[in-house]
Amino acid sequence: MKLKMKKCKSCGEYTLNDNCPCKGEVGVIYPPKYSPEDKYGKYRRILKKQLLKSEKELVG
């Protein structure tokens, strides 16, 4: 059995358990594995361009 570190979304505590002591929702903190068949890569690149464009507009 592989243990993965998790982080509580409500209190921010790290745990190896499936439940946080504060009864908050926990999620795995590791990024997803790389896949050459990236289904969502197109959308991430579009979002990144939009974020960079909005930052440039705020600065300049």
pLDDT value for 60: 66
pLDDT value for 17: 87
Query: For the residues 55-60, what does the mean pLDDT come to?
Result: 79
The per-residue pLDDT for range 10-53, each reduced to its tens digit, is 998 988 888 888 988 998 888 777 788 888 888 888 998 998 88
For residues 60 and 27, which has the higher predicted lDDT (pLDDT)?
A: 27
DSSP string, 2-42: ----EEETTT--EESSSS-TT---EEE-SPPPP-SS-SSHH
pLDDT value for 49: 92
